[in-house]
Amino acid sequence: MDQYIPLSPFQLVFYFEWKLNPQRTDYHMVIDQTIEGKIDYNKLNCCLKKMVQDIFIFNVHIIEINEKFY
């Protein structure tokens, strides 16, 4: 399983909390940014998608293999 990173006990707690109630939002991270000037919404959308794709903490997919979580 070299390509997967095992979840820490701390991460497992958050994962199981989410599994119990996927609609819960109090663990969500909030980003507050001020943007000035004319907004190109297409570029903004592309930038946000790239940020989620590139920043590891925002792009999380958990899998279970043999009762272990990665």
pLDDT for 26-36, tens place per residue? 877 777 888 88
Whole-angstrom distance, CA of residue 65 vs CA of residue 33: 38
CB 63 within 8 A of CB 70: yes
**Longest CA span, the chain:** 52
How many helices (H) does the chain have, and how many strands (E)? 2, 2
* 25-66 confidence digits (pLDDT tens): 887 777 788 888 999 999 999 998 898 888 766 767 889 999
Domain edges within the chain: 9-69
pTM: 0.54
pLDDT of residue 39: 92
